[in-house]
Chains A and B, each alone.
Chain A
Amino acid sequence: SQQGEEDPQALSIQEGENATMNCSYKTSINNLQWYRQNSGRGLVHLILIRSNEREKHSGRLRVTLDTSKKSSSLLITASRAADTASYFCATEGGGFKTIFGAGTRLFVKA
């Protein structure tokens, strides 16, 4: 069963625009992570936010977490063609098992 559900399933934007992806989950978590997957490659970890944190930044990435709404968002600012990839949220709860969502496919047009 999927814990994280990403929204939208696909997103197409112009280079330079911001991209926002959302993730909703169902049960309590210890942390939430975002990963990127380029076509034909494995996943690469982007950022982790703990359940007691509300916002976190890493370069052009901004992640927010609202545990009352069981939701998170990933914002990529000033997007580049190289940001074209699939983005997955992953939640870690009791038992330290990580559950991945189905992902958002981002396409950045040059």
Chain B
Amino acid sequence: DAEITQSPRHKITETGRQVTLACHQTWNHNNMFWYRQDLGHGLRLIHYSYGVQDTNKGEVSDGYSVSRSNTEDLPLTLESAASSQTSVYFCASRLREGDNEQFFGPGTRLTVL
């Protein structure tokens, strides 16, 4: 069965370190998204991609970067982790823009000390 996976599921790091969160989907979806979820804010869009070599900034992109070298993967990098980036991160994918659902990964809980 097609799926979307994230790794690691839990990560503790220190302020200033570079961290990369992995997202892999086997749906063969063109669109992929990274969100962060914080209490009281719902999900906020960090970055998104509509296809290979395409990346776009979302609502809260400062301090984050992504790259899309193939259809299956969209890794999220925190260049220099800050305590404000402690959050739960979700990756999602969908087939195309509009009129269809997003499929979410299980999430990565990141703690920055």
Using a CB–CB cutoff of 8 Å, the interface residues on chain A facing chain B are 1-2, 4, 30-31, 33, 40-45, 48, 50, 88, 92, 96-103
Q: B101 near A103 (CB under 8 angstroms)?
A: no
Chain B interface: which size bin? 20 to 34
With contacts A1-B59, A42-B90, A100-B43 known, is A30 near B107, CB below 8 A?
Answer: no
Least Cβ distance of B5 to chain A in Å?
10
Question: Distance in Å from the Cβ of B49 to the closest Cβ of chain A?
Answer: 13
Q: How far is the CB of A43 from chain B (nearest CB, A)?
A: 5
Q: Which of B98, B103, B104 contacts A96 (CB 8 A)?
A: B98
Kindly provide the distance from the CB of A93 to the nearest chain B CB, expressed in whole angstroms: 10
- B44 vs chain A, min Cβ distance (A): 8
Choose one: B33, B99, B104; the contact of A50 (CB below 8 Å).
B99
Sort A-B residue pairs by CB-CB distance and give the 6 closest, nearest first. A42-B104, A45-B101, A96-B97, A100-B43, A102-B42, A100-B42
Which chain A residues lie closer than 8 Å to B99 at the CB level? 30-31, 48, 50
**Residue positions of B touching A, CB distance < 8 A:** 33, 35, 40-45, 48, 58-59, 90, 92, 97-107
- Given A4-B42, A43-B92, A48-B101, 6 other A-B contacts at CB below 8 A? A33-B101, A41-B107, A43-B90, A48-B99, A97-B45, A102-B40
Max chain B Cβ within 10 angstroms of own Cβ: one of A4, A42, A50: A42
A99 CA to B97 CA, complexed, in Å = 13
Question: What chain A residues lie within 8 Å of B59 (beta carbons)?
Answer: 1
A-B contact pairs, 29 of them (CB 8 A): A2-B41, A2-B42, A30-B98, A30-B99, A31-B98, A41-B106, A42-B92, A42-B104, A42-B105, A42-B106, A42-B107, A43-B43, A43-B90, A43-B92, A43-B104, A44-B104, A45-B101, A45-B103, A88-B43, A96-B97, A96-B98, A97-B45, A98-B33, A98-B102, A99-B45, A100-B43, A101-B42, A102-B41, A102-B42
